[in-house]
Amino acid sequence: MLSFSLALLTLAVSSDIELPYPYSAPLRSSPAPLPVNHGPGTSGGGSATSSGETLRQGRWTIELRSDWTEFESTSVAEAEAKAIAAGEFDALGRSLMNTVALSYGLSDDLQLSLALGHYSGRDFIDAEEDGLGGAESATADPSGLTDTWVNAKWRVLRGASGHLALIGGLKLPTGKDDETLSNGEELEPSSQPGSGSVDYQAGLAYSRFLSARMTLDASALYTLRTMHQGFEVGDRADLGLALAYRLTEDVQAPDNWSVFGELNGIWLDEDVAQGVSNENSGGETVYLTLGVHERFNEHAALSLAPAVPVFQDTNGEQVETDWRLGLALTLSL
């Protein structure tokens, strides 16, 4: 299924954002759109690696996160030319995904999370071959509330050898799914803020200290999509590996700084509409992230995570991602 092995083990659970004090983990950033699947939960944008840690019993975290993604520039004329060659072609100029995630430690080893957000896409172009040697196109700036993810993380192993957790999730179709193009036609579910389907996630995460200052996180997640009104967004698999190093000597000190590096590998299956697979959707991508994390105190932390694709192998004709930037503020109660 995955033709690359560069990125070992990642997660993309939008609600998996805990930063239990004094542990300093890398940013848990949300998915970012990738062509042809442009919606917030349907993309191959790099999702940061999850931690095998869970919140202590009775602890809460709230994360406010923004992810900006920039795609290669495509004009209407270029989109129509590619549609003539491939039958159809979609492009997106840029997107902004704002997410609010709430997590609670039901016990020291069981964490529950809830996440939803607002998605905003700009310069979306939908072009199709007209059968007469030309192409027709329409544009849109889709935006709206996303679907809601409910997640649980159960830590099954903890100790000197590390922390291992099992992860499960359910996506509820609460997002906006009726955005239209300039010609009045509705966008496909893969390009909507909400896909309209109930989806499922399962995976695992592992974390351990390599030294007093260095931590390792590794995780894997599979997202199973279901059909809604004859359309099924392609399944998704996330793999990744992250290393973080604390720059501040005293772990209890305020203004505690860390840096982290991360590899994320994403596989997307093709979309299926009315039983027919879209050959211009899906593919494989590997992202490299080099970021910085500041923990102001035991109750607040801020992460900045710029990422670039180091490998992209998309199916058919699709635009590629230039870069993405994640910013997250985590509050612990």
Residues comprising the chain, all counted = 333
Question: What's the pLDDT at 144?
Answer: 97
Report the candidate in 265, 276, 189 with the shortest Cα–Cα distance to residue 225: 189
pLDDT above 70 covers what percent of the chain?
86
Q: Over the stretch 191-241, which tens digit does the pLDDT of each residue have?
A: 999 999 999 999 999 999 999 999 999 999 999 999 999 999 999 999 999
Helix (H, G, I), strand (E, B) or coil at 287: strand
List the 124-129 sheet strands across, edge first.
88-91, 124-129, 135-140
| pLDDT over 70 (residue 2) | no
Instruction: Look at 42-46, 50-54, 124-128, 278-282 and tell me which has the smallest mean pLDDT.
Output: 42-46
Contact 116, 57 (CB under 8 A): no
Question: What's the pLDDT at 271?
Answer: 95
What average pLDDT does this structure show over 172-200?
95
In sequence order, the β-bridge partners of residue 68 are 96, 325
| CA separation for the pair 70, 64 (Å, rounded) | 20
| pLDDT over 70 (residue 331) | yes
277 alpha carbon, distance to own chain's centre:
23
pLDDT band at 252 (very low <50, low <70, confident <90, very high): confident
List the 272-273 sheet strands across, edge first.
231-232, 272-273, 276-277
Contact 9, 33 (CB under 8 A): no
Alpha helices (runs of H) in the chain, residue ranges in sequence order: 76-86
Instruction: Look at 35-49, 62-76, 222-236, 302-316 and tell me which has the smallest mean pLDDT.
Output: 35-49
Provide the 8-state DSSP code for 182: T
Q: Does the domain formed by 60-332 have CATH 2.60.40.10?
A: no
| Angle made by CA atoms 50, 281, 142, in degrees to the nearest 5 | 80
Domain map of the chain by residue range?
Answer: 60-332
Contact 238, 245 (CB under 8 A): no
Contact 308, 296 (CB under 8 A): no
pLDDT band at 25 (very low <50, low <70, confident <90, very high): very low
Question: pTM of the predicted model, to two decimals?
Answer: 0.85
Q: Is the peptide bond before 22 cis (omega within 30 degrees of 0)?
A: yes
Report the candidate in 92, 94, 82 with the shortest Cα–Cα distance to residue 128: 82
pLDDT band at 39 (very low <50, low <70, confident <90, very high): low
Q: Over the stretch 8-20, which tens digit does the pLDDT of each residue have?
A: 333 333 333 232 2
Contact 47, 64 (CB under 8 A): no
Q: Over the stretch 98-145, which tens digit does the pLDDT of each residue have?
A: 999 999 999 999 999 999 999 999 999 999 999 899 999 999 999 999
Question: What's the pLDDT at 10?
Answer: 32
Q: Which helix (H) or strand (E) holds 331?
A: strand 321-332
| pLDDT over 80 (residue 265) | yes
